[in-house]
Amino acid sequence: MERRVVITGMGAITPIGNNVEENWKSILEKKCGIDKITFVDTTNFKTTMAGEVKNYNPEDYFELKEAKRLDRCSQFAMIAAREAFKDSKINNENTDFDRIGIFVSSGIGGLNTIQAQCNNLFEKGNKRVSPMFIPMGIVNMPAGNISIDLGLKGESMAIVSACASSTHSIGEAYKTIKYGSEDAIIAGGTEASICELGIAGFENMKALSSSTDKNRASIPFDKERSGFVMGEGAAMLVLEEYEHAKKRGAKIYAEVIGFGSTSDAYHITSPDPEGNGGAKAMIRAIEDAKIKPEDVDYINAHGTSTHLNDSTETKAIQKVFGDNSKKVMVSSTKSYTGHLLGAAGAIEAIYSVKALFEGKVPPTLNYKVRDEECDLDVVPNEVRDADIKIAMSNSLGFGGHNATIVFKKI
């Protein structure tokens, strides 16, 4: 028997807000979170812009000793998970903690820790590598830390599929609850890779924007786009079985009704130029949701602001939606936050759910120059009031990973 799955809690810390309320306020006020990089000396880099988390002091959330034992990506994950869990109002009186899972992803994991400990090794010798290096750096540790922090004892995992990671986590959480294995799951992603090593790696791939104008750096679907902008942060959603949520009187934000996932089988970094893999992921999600393409009102696109991603994602949307591809609203909130890599899908899922819940569609910010290759309604620059019923969120990752999740207003 298939069970219904709903969203009952959300948490976030991103370049545009240190909780969900601040994030959504920034969306509505069209506040871009991209600015000059402050905690890396960019003198020798072409890249000078990023989406950094603002006004962040670890000691506001953790004891000093604990903070030193947590990589920045684990800190962000725990902060977002605490908010989502509190928002859900789940406790050990209304829910069995043995049946709450943690599906939390990171595309890269503790890159700041990896960089720092490599520096220690080569500058000071092997004896100076921290004994905390491994548990701070490995990709599964944000999920493990959330489990320990909240006392949750259900299934715990970290799905890694580059920039599709957290959408895969949400999708797999949805399936796990749908088929009865857990009653609730904290699902999402976290990333904190704005360091010399991270910037150098992406810059030397020629993937990053070298714009020095914060309002023209991350410009998805704009003809003048030249690369993505790195962002950081975390976002978590509490997925819960519908009857369980209803029984305990939970606030329900939206229902998860479909998930689709495919591989391009094309190239390690470039998407299939015809958008076939992305299209098939959307089709699978639509079929799983038991809806028609024309039922989708809004798509939160992967929309990275690279030429290849935006043009091929447009082709994928056109393949799936046909004549309706010019009618469905399609925006990229990476114009606000930059690209949160493995955490991108989770924060974009939250923005999609908020769009359903609040009846307001986030725009593609700082859009100026129309690109005929991206012939879509990209909701340019202005928040749009719309009573949307179904929203879709796309994520695409290096290695050809494609993932799509579908939400319904409830």
Taking only the tens place, the pLDDT of each residue in 238-286 is 999 999 999 999 999 999 999 999 999 999 999 999 999 999 999 999 9
Fold of 259-408: Peroxisomal Thiolase; Chain A, domain 1 (3.40.47)
Angle formed at CA 363 by CA 251 and CA 218, multiple of 5 degrees = 115
Task: Compute the distance between CA of residue 288 and CA of residue 301 in angstroms, rounded to an integer.
Answer: 19
Task: Compute the distance between CA of residue 142 and CA of residue 70 in angstroms, rounded to an integer.
Answer: 9
Is 214 within 8 Å of 305 (Cβ atoms)? no
In angstroms, the Cα distances linking 114 to 64, 106, 109, 214 are 20, 14, 9, 29
In this prediction, residue 1 carries a pLDDT of: 76
When pLDDT is cut at 50, 70 and 90, the band that residue 287 belongs to is very high
Q: Is the pTM of this model over 0.85?
A: yes
Once rounded to an integer, what is the mean pLDDT over residues 151-169?
A: 98
Task: Compute the distance between CA of residue 279 and CA of residue 193 in angstroms, rounded to an integer.
Answer: 29
% of the chain at pLDDT higher than 90? 100
Per residue in 350-406, pLDDT tens? 999 999 999 999 999 999 999 999 999 999 999 999 999 999 999 999 999 999 999
DSSP class of 363? P
Residue type, 270: S
Angle formed at CA 217 by CA 312 and CA 47, multiple of 5 degrees = 105
Burial group, residue 208, by CB count within 10 angstroms (0-12, 13-18, 19+): buried
**E runs forming strands in 69-213:** 100-105, 156-157, 184-191
In this prediction, residue 378 carries a pLDDT of: 98
Tokens found for residue 120: 């220690």
Is 405 within 8 Å of 299 (Cβ atoms)? no
Residue type, 120: N
Distance of CA 46 to the CA centre of its chain: 26
Does domain 5-247 fall under CATH 3.10.450.50? My reply is no
Per residue in 4-47, pLDDT tens? 999 999 999 999 999 999 999 999 999 999 999 999 999 999 99
Tell me the DSSP string of 152-189. Answer: --S-EE---BTBTHHHHHHHHHHHHHHTTS-SEEEEEE
Which residues carry out catalysis?
Answer: 163, 302, 339
Residue type, 348: E
**71: Cα within 13 Å, side-chain hemisphere:** 36
Tokens found for residue 279: 């299209």
Is 323 within 8 Å of 294 (Cβ atoms)? no
Is 376 within 8 Å of 317 (Cβ atoms)? yes
Query: Which residue ranges does the chain devote to CATH 3.40.47.10?
Result: 5-247, 259-408
% of the chain at pLDDT higher than 70? 100
Instruction: Using the Cα atoms of residue 172, residue 163, residue 290 and residue 275 in order, give the sign of their dihedral.
Output: negative
Task: Compute the distance between CA of residue 360 and CA of residue 384 in angstroms, rounded to an integer.
Answer: 6
